[in-house]
Amino acid sequence: DADVTQTPRNRITKTGKRIMLECSQTKGHDRMYWYRQDPGLGLRLIYYSFDVKDINKGEISDGYSVSRQAQAKFSLSLESAIPNQTALYFCATSDPRGEKETQYFGPGTRLLVL
């Protein structure tokens, strides 16, 4: 079983709709992240959470919100989707203990906003 899972894997929605992308992990990591990836722009950080009570904005948080429901779950919401939010979304986790803090990525959610 995958350590970091994302649902749904693909989603098509219409402008103005509210949608939620979910991320779950079995790695036992405290830290979780949401990124979006666009062609030619690389991965950009949307939000991150270092524990259940900690939520931080990333580089491009406008138009998004998050919820850390438990150590293992971190969801990303688009309150009113717009076409320029069409992108590939990745969740990632990391563990601050140890020599290096590698981020482990989920398989991604491909979102199309019409």
Partner 1 sequence: GQNIDQPTEMTATEGAIVQINCTYQTSGFNGLFWYQQHAGEAPTFLSYNVLDGLEEKGRFSSFLSRSKGYSYLLLKELQMKDSASYLCACETGANNLFFGTGTRLTVIP
Phi then psi for residue 85, to 5 deg, are -90, 5
14 or 55, CB closer to partner 1?
55
Site residues for partner 1 per CB under 8 A = 4, 31, 40-45, 48, 50, 58, 90, 94, 96, 100-108
R_g (Cα) of the chain, nearest Å: 13
Between residues 84 and 96, which has the closer beta carbon with respect to partner 1?
96
The smaller minimum CB distance to partner 1, of residues 74 and 90, is found at 90
Shortest distance (Å) from residue 6 CB to partner 1: 9
Smallest distance from partner 1 to CB 73, Å: 18
Strands (E), 1-114: 4-7, 10-13, 19-25, 31-38, 42-51, 54-57, 65-70, 73-78, 87-94, 104-105, 109-113
